[in-house]
A and B are shown apart, each in its own frame.
Chain A
């Protein structure tokens, strides 16, 4: 996954299909950046320039998009991303404690990745699961009603 720099032929066909869905093909930029992140693991400057070329766009305007949104990673994140919500309802339910517990357990601060490249810890804004606060997003899934014990089990279960 790391060494590939360009999309495969099938993926390029998918890029074109996505571009055709939008009245102006630039509309497909966010979906294609998601594809790039899934394929290459993160979105490096080289990838930005590559994606820009697929859209005939100035690379600066792709860089604008990548630096604006929080789900695009300019550097390779850990194999697992733990996004702990620290917004209002989660704060009232003890998000600070959950974050502190994770920081100490993983030995990193929010915004950092463990040295073995396994886990990236993030403090994020409202994930809209306030009824199950405190909570976090682990990769693609929401983990709700967290307690330190539950957090420990989740971390232990990460491959």
Chain B
């Protein structure tokens, strides 16, 4: 018998019900921009320390400790430092940043200003995916309000930058390349962005949701924030739940919630009502079977379970879902979005899509499954960025955990 999920007071989603939640007026009414006053009274290093203590982890996909990332900027660096906000949401199953941009853009702006003070940044770029037209409009309007109110333009500016359609621009150095006016090719590391990033300067790339947490951390303290989550990850996060689920949508929960509790919170399994599996962290996260859902939905809990928290895009499969078809769909995605820069990913994603398509069409051969697994294991860890490692998440886990379904489609 599973316990019910702990109830958390919404932080990020607290104003979503208001129709005017995106306006400066509404933001002020609900205590917005008060954290800014507090942050201005703190030393930059003190802000970073507070964020470290809060155990805030990156919520775009990598789950890296945010305060630690900020501290990688070389001490004593005198030139410009850039903050780049990753609003290139694109991980299949994820839609939380869209909500934040449309319904609480000022939270993001306040978070950006706090970050800018901590890392001594005077100019930030926000990279919004090109398809997000309404979020762009809402955020642009909020930026204008913030300039008019004097929150921006006094030592800190925001430059809006619109993407042009490429999932790989969600990878932080792919984003930087795109910001620099090139193809979204991720950069060879080292050097890492905190040392040498956008336009050659130390750069911090943070996800939208990560930054929206900062006003709360500053206002109510790191200790409080840390206690909301697990021992190694503080706070809440917004889970995007979709697929065969009765109430798809965004759910802000403590990151200590289990997957079973989250599914329940979202109304339970639809389709034929019987759970087959769950992709817990966007399509790049290895799938969990119905027997594996008593896992906490935090970065370290999911890593220990052999998968990842990623972007917290939770896609639910009921028993009527064909896993081979699902593999074909995601394989098509990775083949389409591979930037093509490095050989293992460029060549393998295309070939694996062809094989997965053949299998679904009934023309698979006995060796195909082992070939896909072998190529995945050989290629993982050999590429410039983690895109391919994300791709092999489904390639390997769908076949290893649901092999009989694939074999059933292969002619004897």
Contacts and interface: CB of A to CB of B under 8 A. Distances in A.
Interface residues of B, number: 56
B242 interface: yes
B241 interface: yes
A130 B248 contact: yes
A126 B91 contact: yes
A30 B244 contact: no
B12 to A, nearest CB: 16
Interface string B85-105: 000011111110110000000
Contact of B133 (A27, A31, A130, A141): A141
Contacts of B180: 22, 24, 26-27
B181 A126 contact: no
Nearest to B199: A23
Contacts of A31: 161-162
Contacts of B162: 30-31, 34
Interface residues of A, number: 41
B337 interface: yes
Contacts of B231: none
Interface stretch (B142-150, B163-171, B363-371): B163-171
Interface in A117-149: 125-133, 137, 140-142
Contact of B130 (A21, A27, A64, A71): A71
A69 B166 contact: yes
A88 B326 contact: yes
Interface in A89-143: 89, 91-92, 125-133, 137, 140-142
A22 B93 contact: no
B161 A130 contact: no
A68 B166 contact: yes
Interface stretch (B36-44, B61-69, B186-194, B328-336): B328-336
A87 interface: yes
A55 B180 CA distance: 13
A49 interface: no
Contacts of A126: 90-94, 167, 283, 333
B14 to A, nearest CB: 19
B233 interface: no
Contacts of A140: 133-134
A142 B98 CA distance: 12
Contact of A87 (B131, B250, B333): B333
B384 to A, nearest CB: 16
A131 B241 contact: yes
Given A23-B80, A130-B315, A88 B92 contact: yes
A91 B329 contact: yes
Nearest to B248: A131
Closest 7 CB pairs of A and B: A70-B165, A29-B181, A69-B164, A26-B181, A130-B242, A71-B165, A131-B248
30 contacts: A22-B181, A23-B80, A24-B180, A26-B180, A26-B181, A28-B181, A29-B181, A33-B164, A34-B130, A61-B182, A68-B184, A69-B164, A69-B166, A71-B130, A71-B163, A72-B164, A88-B92, A88-B326, A88-B329, A88-B333, A91-B326, A92-B244, A125-B90, A126-B90, A126-B92, A130-B92, A131-B240, A131-B242, A131-B248, A131-B249
Given A87-B283, A89-B92, 16 more contacts: A22-B159, A26-B182, A27-B161, A27-B180, A27-B199, A69-B165, A69-B166, A69-B183, A70-B165, A87-B92, A88-B315, A89-B248, A125-B337, A129-B95, A130-B243, A131-B248
